[in-house]
A = this chain, B = another copy of it.
């Protein structure tokens, strides 16, 4: 096995994650889907791998030779297997398309540079040869962020960063670590653990997503209440662009003009490729306390979280499910259909390391706010399944159902209005198509000024599920935009949220993005069609 092969994980081409972690839906759940959502009992499996249509590879020999001169010939892959694994991310329309056998947009080649300098050289060469470049980290985008959109270019490569997998440096005094962009979550954590540290960044995509992706999409992890968002953890970053390189960030804080890091954080590969990140790290927690709480309703639970945030008493993890999600999760954890389990809303709390010091104060505030402690079990049960959610989507797609998640964030004063607006819009858009949905909601990223809202939508699958999805997505986006919330709190913009970005930043904001783009990528080869309105 060569060094390069060693680094190709065994990921599913038509589903989330790895095939061995998939779990089919039980007959009992199928029964409930039929009873509650009218999902007709029918299997809707993916086509077989052998039936997938990939386009021809169109990388001109001259361009290939130029790239091979940089990365070596064995680091340019044009085999169908590798191209298929880079033919998109993990958004619901991505998966629906590939499950139907369509991978026609697959990149012409997958290029695997070994280091920052090779990334710089590849980008310069691609600009020269007019080859579109889609950066590829974990490939877990759920918003079309790594779709191989050609944007008018004839050829397109996927630039896979998996070989940039080193822990470059640890500064134990300053509690920072410098990590290469291609490191996956678990690899990064394993390397940091040798030094006694953790990033504390555990998004649902943790098992597969990469450091570069966390930065390029402003990822936020399940422990964001304690460790913060990934963008806030980044002190320094190296970025390769077709116009040259950037090394940004010299201090924990600065007044030296605009913060240019903030242009590349969230730039989703459209401005450059983040090759290295210096981020805050935390000691591996010696102590962990977990506790579930029950609140009479979502408003009471969110008011309690608001107090914790505003009184500087947040746990490391704080996660409040609405009534429906609470019912579903507790039923699933115990025995489906047992008769509902406890009512109200479940709050998961978890205190790690230094944050354990606030737990007594937090508990007092939660009690005062009407919460009832449920012991450790619900929090441990949540932790056990914390990365499993996306596999459930695949299982539902197999049984004639459709599942999708979407999220936003807003201020506390607009939280209830925003939640209702999104729920109503999605429900109406799907009901109109004859597939009334179940909409679950939780609140999982909490700030003194507001919080995120995360929605899970499940319904019967329509004749044309991509069209069905699109109509629901458009309704949700319009509702979010109308109430003045952000179109995405942690999923990024990609293809799917691009229509609403101009609402959010205005036409002049879009012009600013285009001006930056023309400075760093004048030919426009970087990730065409994503992000920029």
Contacts and interface: CB of A to CB of B under 8 A. Distances in A.
Copies of this chain in the oligomer:
2
Contact of A260 (B175, B251, B505): B505
Contacts of A509: 246, 248, 260
Nearest to A226: B312
Contacts of A451: 252
A251 to B, nearest CB: 4
Interface stretch (A1-9, A107-115, A263-271, A331-339): A263-271
A484 B254 CA distance: 12
Interface residues of A, number: 93
Interface stretch (A56-64, A366-374, A485-493): A485-493
B409 A252 contact: yes
B355 A506 contact: no
A491 B257 CA distance: 10
Given A266-B258, A355-B312, A486-B251, A508 B520 contact: yes
Contacts of A361: 357
Interface in A325-379: 354-355, 357-358, 361
A275 interface: no
A140 interface: no
A515 interface: yes
A285 interface: no
B243 A508 contact: yes
A518 interface: yes
Query: Which among A173, A229, A408 has the highest number of chain B CB atoms within 10 Å?
Result: A173
Contact of A491 (B171, B246, B255, B515): B255
Nearest to A217: B255
Given A254-B489, A261-B262, A512-B520, 5 more contacts: A174-B413, A235-B411, A244-B506, A255-B492, A256-B488
16 contacts: A241-B508, A244-B506, A250-B410, A252-B409, A252-B447, A256-B492, A256-B493, A257-B268, A257-B532, A258-B264, A258-B265, A259-B262, A259-B263, A259-B265, A263-B263, A280-B449
